[in-house]
Structure 1
């Protein structure tokens, strides 16, 4: 209708002459050309990736002429939109500034934490600080080291297993749950404020900075990928509804997301239960999994569940299933196994940032439906993986944690893949 009105206004002027209507012809012009949102950043994109992304945006965004539902794009966060991990950055800052609170019992922080880990943490962190009061981790190096050993290695400082029991390995990881549970006792807003302070510190630090936390060396800088910031900007301008879906704590990601134009309502992360305004060690469930202790996170198959539930309104057990094309995202981007399920659900474009993660790279390099793009990390890219990805044997993680071949949607096995984009 708008183009028709424009055409009539430009093509003719009406005048009343002698009781009749005469049409005075003027120069005519067709509809004004559309201005399609365009990617601005070219550096860092491998091969034809930028051109293919632009084509996807043109075909599914405002320039497509479609009057259907808005297309959806979903991005993982850590090492997909930013270089390095914002949960790690926040934990490091909190440990250096005495922001973790003494739990009533370390055993109670996580359902899978072993007795060995409980004893090690109790011994090194002590019992003199009352429950709910800050631990002096900036000074108590042994306590800080024990916390980081349990989180980073799933082992105590003496090498004993820190987590044990049964869990669905395509839905959760005990260490990922535990890092969120360490912030129990704080309000979500307080955790976001800690993340903002860690953000300022890590953005200011030069590329390549390492920091010492306890005696551990950790990355001391984070950077937004300018390429992904540009991509998100362009997608939004083209009418896409853009979400962040992260396996980090949601209050932490909310501190970072505005840097790429994403508001709090478009961030989906690990959601700890809140009681009396404070975070607890409980975690929200998804689909037919009730709120409990972190049995399902925004991790691997859990990301699909949360996308289906929060974006498309799919409830119950059905949220774990791949939906019809009208209820799936148009574009998705990720960098690791934690992202593989939701990225493969995308109907038009799938971007894999190459961090040498087996299942994701098996599917991306196989590219059986020609929807995958592989790009090296934009900052400090990984070197080429010299051995093929073991797609035909051990590239897939089963729910019980055992490894198996990676299968295509038609059931055939993906052959081993060479690493060619690095």
Structure 2
């Protein structure tokens, strides 16, 4: 259920290069959001009032943009421009472009036999059960580097799809032994499946997957092997508009995603972003060909494969790539004047870089406990919660267990979610849906 506040009366007047928007707002129901009678709107561009946002989120974003931005296009943090960071999957678009590309490659026989037909070479975090299951399903008949016939070999395709979802087809864990706040091995494995292909080939596959998923009907599913998975992707018009307005107001807009960087760069073209402004999981490239290994971060060597842009790994990559911080210090929070002004995300993978934002933090509600604990606690009044713009989640039936088990520790254990000052966040009721 998505509720909005209709604008009944609007007056505008010029004020110091901005517009002052005064609106009388009302809404029905017990969950009506508070009205925002005085909202500064930038004279060089504001969010489209015809696009529906929850409550007063659009007005609050307009205020932040007017306060922090300056008329101009494609600012650069190196020149003092405010930084805006977006997660990609289920934040800018509905569904997951990394998965969509992996599924396309599986259906079209683009996955190459690993070295020695040994799946352990594709990720050091694969469990022995997963290595054995992939080996048994996919066989050793094809020479290393040759395409596996996953479009017709349904057992091999099914095992790959299962491992991409963190388990084998028999339900055993697919990955183990990793830092749960620095990587998600299944996401990294989606990038590793591209190993052996050139950057140009992977770009071609990403474009083909993009075309297929945008052309599919909204809500469509597809069958990969014998497994039914999501079969469509859609850009959220509200987020596309937000990116456009931020750029018009001189923000340096960048993507930080846990999907493979070559794939993110293809999809971000729609937003007018240059390739270097789209960050993701970074495969090591040798002589123009993607390897099965990843670029390191925060003093972690290339090929160690233990850090991707996931939770604390997202902060690391932003600090390293955008702000030039090297070594272990890239995992540390920078001073406020060297951090992003705005951030948007939807899941636990985004909680650290969202918390680093100094101006506003937009959360797309997908019922992720740790993220929603922080967002609903809203201890510094910078968190904005919005239902998914397409096919929103139902309200979480029970309060998020913030005080006991919503936080995921590095070893995978569960615990309480803490504020910056160390105090424990109380359990939170899902109220924006």
Q: C-alpha displacement at 1:261, in angstroms?
A: 1.7
Contact 2:294 2:304 in 1 (8 A): yes
Aligned to 2:173: 161
Aligned to 1:4: none
Contact 1:75 1:333 in 2 (8 A): yes
Aligned to 1:62: 70
Q: C-alpha displacement at 1:177, in angstroms?
A: 1.5
Alignment gaps of 5+ in structure 1 = 1-29
Provide the C-alpha distance between the structure 2 equivalents of 1:170 and 1:42, rounded to a whole number of angstroms: 39
Provide the C-alpha distance between the structure 2 equivalents of 1:41 and 1:125, rounded to a whole number of angstroms: 52
- The 3 A distance-change label for structure 1 pair 32 and 327 is closer
Contact 1:42 1:50 in 2 (8 A): no
CA distances 1:197-225 after superposition (whole Å, capped 9, x unpaired): 01001101110100011111111110000
Contact 2:130 2:163 in 1 (8 A): yes
Aligned to 1:413: 424
Q: Whose Rg is larger?
A: 1
Out of 290, 293, 296, the position equivalent to 2:301 is: 290
Aligned to 1:132: 145
Aligned to 2:359: 348
Provide the C-alpha distance between the structure 1 equivalents of 2:236 and 2:17, rounded to a whole number of angstroms: 35
CA distances 1:74-100 after superposition (whole Å, capped 9, x unpaired): 000000000000011111111111111
Aligned to 1:108: 121
Matches within 5 A, 1:237-386: 237-386=248-397
Aligned to 2:156: 143
Q: C-alpha displacement at 1:116, in angstroms?
A: 2.3
Provide the C-alpha distance between the structure 2 equivalents of 1:90 and 1:158, rounded to a whole number of angstroms: 24
Out of 402, 408, 418, the position equivalent to 1:397 is: 408
- The 3 A distance-change label for structure 1 pair 182 and 63 is closer
Contact 1:41 1:226 in 2 (8 A): no
Provide the C-alpha distance between the structure 2 equivalents of 1:85 and 1:162, rounded to a whole number of angstroms: 20
CA RMSD of aligned residues (A): 1.7
Out of 43, 46, 56, the position equivalent to 1:35 is: 43
Aligned to 1:93: 104
* 1:118 and 2:131 are equivalent in the alignment: yes
Alignment gaps of 5+ in structure 2 = 1-14, 19-41
What SS does structure 2 have at the residue aligned with 1:378?
A: coil
Number of equivalent positions:
389
Provide the C-alpha distance between the structure 2 equivalents of 1:85 and 1:196, rounded to a whole number of angstroms: 14
Q: C-alpha displacement at 1:280, in angstroms?
A: 0.7
Contact 1:110 1:293 in 2 (8 A): no
Provide the C-alpha distance between the structure 2 equivalents of 1:156 and 1:400, rounded to a whole number of angstroms: 21
* 1:388 and 2:388 are equivalent in the alignment: no
Provide the C-alpha distance between the structure 1 equivalents of 2:49 and 2:302, rounded to a whole number of angstroms: 42
Provide the C-alpha distance between the structure 1 equivalents of 2:373 and 2:406, rounded to a whole number of angstroms: 7
Contact 1:121 1:143 in 2 (8 A): yes
What SS does structure 2 have at the residue aligned with 1:193?
A: helix
Give the TM-score of the pair, scaled to structure 2. 0.87
